[in-house]
Amino acid sequence: MRSKSRKSTLSLASVLLIAGATSVLAASSEADFKAAYAAAEAVNKEAGALRYQWTTTSATLAAAKKAADGGDFDQAVAQSKEAEALARASIFQATSEKERWKALEIR
């Protein structure tokens, strides 16, 4: 049961990361970055409220900010969307594991 839980969480995270990474096809502007970054921060705050933030999300947000500071808005938007996907995956994991532990077999 535990293996299935991890596989489904990893599968969801992979899908979200791919979706976020491939949605940035056109040249991005500073406004695009600000919108994507704000969305990622909001979802990350939600994960924080659940006390389930992933450290990779913060690192990805920092990378997005660094790319934006360097003027690479395409990379900054892509990193922001990846951070949002990571935060959403952490929320999914938090909510799914909230109940799944009850189904574990105690040995």
pLDDT at site 27: 83
- Is there a contact between 57 and 90 (Cβ–Cβ < 8 Å)? yes
Query: What is the average pLDDT across 3-17?
Result: 59
Residue 102 is encoded by which pair of tokens?
A: 């009850």
Residue 68 is encoded by which pair of tokens?
A: 């934006």
Interatomic CA distance for residues 88 and 103, integer angstroms = 23
Query: What is the average pLDDT across 10-34?
Result: 68
* Whether residue 100 has pLDDT greater than 90: no
* Whether residue 32 has pLDDT greater than 80: yes
Which residues, 6+ apart, have CB-to-CB distance to 105 below 8 Å? 1
Interatomic CA distance for residues 83 and 76, integer angstroms = 10
Interatomic CA distance for residues 27 and 47, integer angstroms = 30
